[in-house]
Amino acid sequence: MSTSITSRVFMNGNSQAVRIPQEFRLNTKRVEIFLNQNGDLVIHPIADLNENRGEALWQALNEFDDDFVEALEKNRLEDNQVQERDAL
């Protein structure tokens, strides 16, 4: 179920700003803003990589399946073989 609260729009220097009520407070320093297909303005929080870098890396690594990891290992072993080349 979604919650709707009316807020105000104001100018902050040359930028337009929206007051975000406490109920919707974002725990981030950066957001992505875009218009969806319906023309709605969407504000999406972006994780602060400086604070969550280890967690973000762990989550990304956990998304790889066993087949992908096996293929990486196979490529790594094949790439480390000594190549024979003509003398200069």
Residue 38 resides in a domain: yes
Residue 31 resides in a domain: yes
In the chain, where do the E strands start and end?
A: 9-12, 15-18, 30-35, 41-46
Residue 25 resides in a domain: yes
Domain that holds residue 21: 7-44
pTM over cut 0.85? no
**CA 33 to centroid of chain Cα atoms:** 13
Residue 51 resides in a domain: no
- Across 51-74, b (16+ Cβ under 10 Å) vs e yields eeeeeeeeeeeeeeeeeeeeeeee
Residue 57 resides in a domain: no
What CATH number is given to the structural domain containing 13? 2.10.260
- 17-61 pLDDT per residue, tens: 999 999 999 988 889 999 999 999 999 998 776 667 787 788 888
- 58-79 pLDDT per residue, tens: 888 888 888 988 888 888 877 6
Q: Report the domain count for the chain.
A: 1
pLDDT of residue 31: 93
What is the distance between the alpha carbons of residues 88 and 85, in angstroms, rounded to a whole number? 9
Residue 82 resides in a domain: no
- Please determine, for residue 1, whether its predicted confidence score (pLDDT) is greater than 60: no
Residue 34 resides in a domain: yes
